[in-house]
A and B are shown apart, each in its own frame.
Chain A
Amino acid sequence: MTYVPHTDRERAAMLAAIGVARMEDLFAAVPAERRFPDLKLPPPASEPEIMAEMAALAGRNAAADPALSFLGAGTYHHFRPAMVDHVLSRSEFYTSYTQYQPEVSQGMLQALFEYQSMICRLTGMEVSNASHYDGATALAEAVLLALNVGAGKRSKIVLSPAVHPQYREVVKTYLRGTHAATIVGDDDATADLARLTSLVDRETAALVIQNPNFFGQCEPVEGLAEAVHKAGALLIVVTDPISLGLFSPPGAYGADIVVADGQSLGIPPSFGGPHLGIFAARMAQVRRLSGHLVGETVDADGRRSYVLTLATREQHIRREKATSNICTNSAVCALGAAVYLATMGRQGLRQVAELCFHKSHYAAGEIGKLKGFAVNPQAPAQPFFKEFVVRLPRPVGDVDAHLRARGIVGGYDLGRDYRHLRNHMLVAVTETNTRAGIDRLVAALGEVAA
């Protein structure tokens, strides 16, 4: 079926008003030999058929019990308050578009202004945009911003190998269009922060780190920003917003730009997207930011109002001189994150972060007791948040299959991205994992060891 509402009578009246006899006459400008192709698509289906078919398709994916899922690596199973989807289902929000008419968009504008405000406080930064596509593209835009600040004189990006591998790939794709930029640092998969800092020089536009890093570990960031700033470069930090319920934010240790994927904030994993690109910075960079910004102002009667501002940065005004080409963003996911943050609140986010911390440490402790296993073997003394590395006595694929047979979703195979981490699994533990679930994981791993 279609959603075309026209009756035959209406259609005839409209064609007559236009002055054409048939619908086909409206397409005379389209080359005749190419007009009305015979598309090979399945025949149309009704709504009940669609629902049945889609349910069958969804059912071909293996279900995962969140209590027994230990796969993270940038996408996490976190508790999502019912409030979030309830609000996101309001069609005044989700069927609207970008707020070009502020008088009838105050709801979304205020929600995004509040999102920007909560992101700033959470990250310790001064300004947040109204969202990016995802964490990786937010990082790529942050790198472009840093190169823009460097204005051709600083064309080097020092990129930590402990930044999410897919984020690094996206940055490299984005830089294909930027002739002069070079990336150093992540060619050495074991480079630590001291080594990376030593690469920051007068030609460096930015140092990019992730904290907690891809391996879940908290980086030793004391003095880092000072060293980077001394060389005249910017510090870009990729973070996990849940960790900021507990840990000092990047703004407090001197970051210039903070990016993150906001999926943890009430957004379902959804097989990788849509997620939310969080992008926060210092006011010094506000005119170079990409994406929409909502500002507070007043209306003709002096009432507090909100409006998209600094549009002169954007593509629809600045065209080829714009700071970015971004137009459509991830606004409804930003709304979801705002509802999540408002619902969880100051105490709730702290509680989530603490549960992640304690449960992951319990899991790490128990796994560490198993013969043939080692937890965080590369950095045993470094604090971690909700993820940790496990060296396995057997290949990750074998262990994963063993876990799968017991209804457990194992962690991420680090050997896919890091040659020196073959047989290493990245295990994520969040508040959705129960002690009983963790114990089942440990028992199943114990069977592998035996």
Chain B
Amino acid sequence: MTRDKHPTVYELSVPGRHGIDLPACDVPLADLPAAQLRADCGLPELSQLDVARHYLALSQRNFGVDSGFYPLGSCTMKFNPKVNEVVARLPGFAEAHPLREPQTVQGNLALMLELQQWLAEIGGFAAVSLQPSAGAHGEFTGLLMMRAYHRARGDTKRTRILIPDSAHGTNPASTTMAGFSAVELPSDARGNIDLEAVRVACDDTVAGIMMTNPNTLGLFEEEIGEVVRLVHACGGLVYGDGANLNALAGIARPGDLGVDVMHYNLHKTFSTPHGGGGPGAGPVGVSARLEDFLPGPMVAATREGGETRYALEMPPQSIGRVSTHFGNFGMFVRAYAYIRQHGAAGLRENSEHAVLNANYLRVKLHHAFKVPYDRICMHEFVCQGAVAETGVRALDVSKRLLDYGFHPPTNYFPLIVPEALMIEPTETEAKPTLDAFVAAMRAIAEEARREPALVKGAPHQTPVRRVDEVKAARELKLVDRTRPVSD
């Protein structure tokens, strides 16, 4: 990655330069409403070569899965198949206007219906709505459905959602947005949710529980059957955070384990690219009793004279829309192609190898870095990144990994493990890559003992060194004010 200086688009801008020509106006000019016009829209002025070089240079200062190993726990940074990028750009998909008459977009509707059905089959659910745009959006959607379900039964006193202390931050944040209060439950010595705490918390004010399984320690919840039984017995529902489905697709169906509603992260398990932060897609699957509350519209099929016709319909007690149109259709195309390519056997093979890779890293690393819950893990595991008596912390190890050419694991999460490094290799990484990562981690542990300043001062090889986050927050500069242009 280059360390050269990189001017901003505004610093590159030269008044009068322009990058594009459009056809001349081929209609008579109308009178512009002078009073409402602006003199200058404030955009920079660059040539196309300026733009091409600028973004090429920026890309060279960015690290993606195609750049190298990216074991960011809970994010499933697997290979993004290139064929998916090609098919998502087919004009029939990419140029389709969402408000066209259903009869003119039967291909898109057929794709969505099949994806709804395939996801339902994979998750073990009665129905799936594709509409939510991300995992957190799916959580919010699921919680609103749980709320609507209880209210439809006249059960208005259920205001609490149980959430294990190992949960993703989105769980309690979504809970608040949906109008519930979050009740945090502890984990036990084996890394499972504390069953006794569940038992004590379960009463008629519990709307449900949010479970991530495998949990954020990468461990399969060994008491999941009993947790589900307790929550259902008190009248609550079970929300499954599907962020970790890459361990379970083809292995077990959350719906079969008693989960009532779950979101799928298409950008994790189903390989749609993370896009530097998004877009993702967070479809929700539900058991039969929540089906009528799904957001819509959904796609339904009818047979007409031997031909299947696809149409849009709103579930009868729908919570309403959670985004415009159908959600992130471009991601549906990619996920569809991905599932189609894999089939049932391929999905199982993915999960098996994701789990194999994680366990391989665990046993190769647990002598160098403590693994607090050291048993067979699923697709990820958590170790402690601090190196005893050296002052080297998890953050330092992460930064030093950058010098070795690896993206670091997730830092300081889950919160229940001090100095956590959460490592998720995914199935698409080969053994030589994992061995190289192990060697780097062991070398860093050794460096920490021999020359701690080297690790604490890392990274040394990246485009910039450690950045001053305190200054960024204290002296907020969120906008480039170079050569301000007046309106």
Question: Do A and B bind?
Answer: yes
Q: Which residue of B lies closest to A283 (CB)?
A: B476
Complex CA distance for A336 and B353, rounded to whole angstroms: 34
A133-B323, A339-B55 are contacts. A358–B29 as well, Cβ < 8 Å?
A: yes
Instruction: State whether A297 touches B32 (Cβ < 8 A).
Output: no
Q: Which residue of B lies closest to A27 (CB)?
A: B251
Instruction: State whether A348 touches B36 (Cβ < 8 A).
Output: no
Instruction: State whether B61 touches A435 (Cβ < 8 A).
Output: no
Q: B450 at the A/B interface (Cβ < 8 Å)? A: no
Residues 425-470 of B contacting A (Cβ, < 8 Å): 427-431, 457, 459, 462-469
Complex CA distance for A173 and B46, rounded to whole angstroms: 42
Residues on A with beta carbons closer than 8 Å to the beta carbon of B143: 177
Instruction: State whether B18 touches A103 (Cβ < 8 A).
Output: no
Q: B212 at the A/B interface (Cβ < 8 Å)? A: no
Q: A369 at the A/B interface (Cβ < 8 Å)? A: no
Q: Which residue of B lies closest to A410 (CB)?
A: B101
Q: A398 at the A/B interface (Cβ < 8 Å)? A: no
Instruction: State whether B107 touches A293 (Cβ < 8 A).
Output: no
Q: A201 at the A/B interface (Cβ < 8 Å)? A: no
The 9 A-B pairs of least Cβ separation, nearest first, read A272-B325, A58-B92, A121-B42, A60-B107, A272-B98, A332-B275, A107-B62, A331-B277, A44-B343
Q: B330 at the A/B interface (Cβ < 8 Å)? A: yes
Partner of B342, one of A13, A44, A292: A44
Instruction: State whether B26 touches A61 (Cβ < 8 A).
Output: no
Instruction: State whether B63 touches A96 (Cβ < 8 A).
Output: yes
Q: A188 at the A/B interface (Cβ < 8 Å)? A: no
Query: Could you tell me the distance in whole angstroms from the C-beta of B478 to the nearest C-beta in chain A?
Result: 5
A42-B343, A59-B107, A409-B100 are contacts. A297–B467 as well, Cβ < 8 Å?
A: yes
Residues 375-397 of A contacting B (Cβ, < 8 Å): 383
Partner of B96, one of A105, A269, A283, A355: A269
Partner of B51, one of A179, A310, A342: A342
Instruction: State whether B41 touches A122 (Cβ < 8 A).
Output: yes
Complex CA distance for A176 and B180, rounded to whole angstroms: 11
Residues on A with beta carbons closer than 8 Å to the beta carbon of B88: 270
Residues on B with beta carbons closer than 8 Å to the beta carbon of A275: 324
Query: Could you tell me the distance in whole angstroms from the C-beta of B38 to the nearest C-beta in chain A?
Result: 5
C-beta contact mask, B6-26 vs A, less than 8 Å → 1, else 0?
101110010001111011011
Instruction: State whether B277 touches A108 (Cβ < 8 A).
Output: yes
A83-B52, A102-B464, A273-B279 are contacts. A355–B25 as well, Cβ < 8 Å?
A: yes
Residues on A with beta carbons closer than 8 Å to the beta carbon of B116: none
Q: Which residue of A lies closest to B176 (CB)?
A: A320
Residues 25-54 of B contacting A (Cβ, < 8 Å): 25-30, 32-33, 36-38, 40-46, 48, 51-52, 54
Partner of A173, one of B42, B278, B320, B340: B320
Residues on B with beta carbons closer than 8 Å to the beta carbon of A34: 252-253, 256-257
Instruction: State whether B99 touches A89 (Cβ < 8 A).
Output: no
Instruction: State whether A431 touches B22 (Cβ < 8 A).
Output: yes
Which of A17, A31, A296 lies at the interface centre, i.e. has the most chain B CB atoms within 10 A of its CB?
A296
Q: B302 at the A/B interface (Cβ < 8 Å)? A: no
Q: B94 at the A/B interface (Cβ < 8 Å)? A: yes
Q: A50 at the A/B interface (Cβ < 8 Å)? A: yes
Partner of B479, one of A93, A116, A298: A116
Residues on B with beta carbons closer than 8 Å to the beta carbon of A90: 55-56, 59
Instruction: State whether B276 touches A247 (Cβ < 8 A).
Output: no
Complex CA distance for A6 and B5, rounded to whole angstroms: 41
Q: Which residue of A lies closest to B16 (CB)?
A: A347
Partner of B430, one of A5, A77, A117, A118: A5
A101-B408, A438-B27 are contacts. A71–B59 as well, Cβ < 8 Å?
A: no
Partner of B464, one of A111, A294, A303: A303
Given contacts A51-B86, A274-B330, 9 further A-B contacts (CB under 8 A): A47-B341, A58-B92, A87-B55, A92-B62, A133-B133, A173-B321, A248-B36, A319-B173, A332-B273
Partner of A3, one of B79, B134, B357: B79
Residues on A with beta carbons closer than 8 Å to the beta carbon of B106: 60-61
Residues 73-126 of B contacting A (Cβ, < 8 Å): 75, 77-81, 83, 85-101, 104-108, 110-111, 118, 121-122, 124
Instruction: State whether B79 touches A177 (Cβ < 8 A).
Output: no
23 A–B contacts, CB within 8 A, in A order: A27-B355, A64-B96, A74-B324, A92-B66, A103-B466, A117-B10, A133-B323, A137-B322, A173-B320, A246-B41, A247-B36, A248-B37, A275-B324, A296-B477, A299-B467, A300-B466, A327-B134, A333-B275, A345-B43, A348-B43, A358-B29, A435-B26, A435-B27
Residues 110-163 of B contacting A (Cβ, < 8 Å): 110-111, 118, 121-122, 124, 133-137, 139-140, 143-144, 147-148
Q: A447 at the A/B interface (Cβ < 8 Å)? A: no
Q: A420 at the A/B interface (Cβ < 8 Å)? A: no
Q: Which residue of A lies closest to B401 (CB)?
A: A101
Instruction: State whether B471 touches A298 (Cβ < 8 A).
Output: yes
Complex CA distance for A318 and B363, rounded to whole angstroms: 34
Instruction: State whether A272 touches B476 (Cβ < 8 A).
Output: no
Complex CA distance for A435 and B333, rounded to whole angstroms: 34
Complex CA distance for A103 and B463, rounded to whole angstroms: 6
Complex CA distance for A299 and B407, rounded to whole angstroms: 19
Instruction: State whether B428 touches A3 (Cβ < 8 A).
Output: yes
Complex CA distance for A35 and B124, rounded to whole angstroms: 12
Instruction: State whether B104 touches A404 (Cβ < 8 A).
Output: yes
Q: B472 at the A/B interface (Cβ < 8 Å)? A: yes
Partner of B97, one of A11, A64, A94: A64
Query: Could you tell me the distance in whole angstroms from the C-beta of A375 to the nearest C-beta in chain B?
Result: 13
Q: A240 at the A/B interface (Cβ < 8 Å)? A: no
Q: B327 at the A/B interface (Cβ < 8 Å)? A: yes
Residues on B with beta carbons closer than 8 Å to the beta carbon of A450: none
Residues on A with beta carbons closer than 8 Å to the beta carbon of B479: 116-117, 120, 126-128
Instruction: State whether A104 touches B63 (Cβ < 8 A).
Output: yes
Q: Which residue of A lies closest to B250 (CB)?
A: A39
Complex CA distance for A122 and B43, rounded to whole angstroms: 7
Q: B232 at the A/B interface (Cβ < 8 Å)? A: no
Instruction: State whether A271 touches B324 (Cβ < 8 A).
Output: no
A39-B347, A61-B107 are contacts. A349–B476 as well, Cβ < 8 Å?
A: no
Instruction: State whether B61 touches A106 (Cβ < 8 A).
Output: yes
Query: Could you tell me the distance in whole angstroms from the C-beta of B335 to the nearest C-beta in chain A?
Result: 12
C-beta contact mask, A295-307 vs B, less than 8 Å → 1, else 0?
1111111011111
Residues on A with beta carbons closer than 8 Å to the beta carbon of B32: 246, 354, 357
Q: A54 at the A/B interface (Cβ < 8 Å)? A: yes
Complex CA distance for A44 and B63, rounded to whole angstroms: 31
Q: Which residue of A lies closest to B219 (CB)?
A: A29
Instruction: State whether B329 touches A23 (Cβ < 8 A).
Output: no
Q: Which residue of A lies closest to B295 (CB)?
A: A173
Instruction: State whether B467 touches A17 (Cβ < 8 A).
Output: no
Residues 231-280 of A contacting B (Cβ, < 8 Å): 244-249, 252, 261, 268-275
Instruction: State whether A320 touches B472 (Cβ < 8 A).
Output: no
Partner of A246, one of B37, B90, B100, B464: B37
Residues on B with beta carbons closer than 8 Å to the beta carbon of A136: 321, 323-324
Partner of A301, one of B1, B5, B168, B465: B465
C-beta contact mask, A63-90 vs B, less than 8 Å → 1, else 0?
1101001010111010101010111011
The stretch of A149-157, A163-171, A189-197 in contact with B is A163-171
Instruction: State whether B464 touches A344 (Cβ < 8 A).
Output: no
Residues on B with beta carbons closer than 8 Å to the beta carbon of A127: 478-479
